[in-house]
Amino acid sequence: MPKEKKRGGLLTAWLILMIIANSFTTLTYLFLNSLIIAAFPNVPSSIFYIYGALELANVIFAIFLFKWKKWAFFAFCTSAVIIFIMNVSIGLSIFTALFGLIGIVILYLILKPKWNLLE
């Protein structure tokens, strides 16, 4: 008989928060980006659509983490590294860019006790 997978309240809450936050960020980058573009006048506006696509991908990765897919965690990590590199390339400080990796660290720490449940 297959082992029942219990996600737990903290992991569930964190995944929901990630879905909400990444959805909001996706909409901001794709449809409400005029303020962001104004704040970074030397950055091509097309880069913000790439940010939006990565944030949308993060929503999808969070949904797959709900389905216990291990690859989704690694995809989140890859997305975070790409966003980190993009942040540094547009002129954000290393410290500010590193701040964007905190979510992945928190996800890892919450997911670690459940790692064996991932497929």
Domains of the chain, by residue range, sit at 9-117
On whether the CB atoms of residues 59 and 19 are closer than 8 A, the answer is yes
Q: What is the mean pLDDT of residues 9-37?
A: 95
Q: What is the pLDDT of residue 4?
A: 77
Residue range 33-87, pLDDT digits in tens: 898 889 889 999 999 999 999 999 999 999 999 999 999 999 999 999 999 999 9
Decide if pLDDT at 2 tops 80: no
Cβ atoms < 10 Å from Cβ of 118: 15
The rounded distance, in Å, linking the Cα atoms of 62 and 72 is: 7
Q: What is the pTM of this model?
A: 0.90
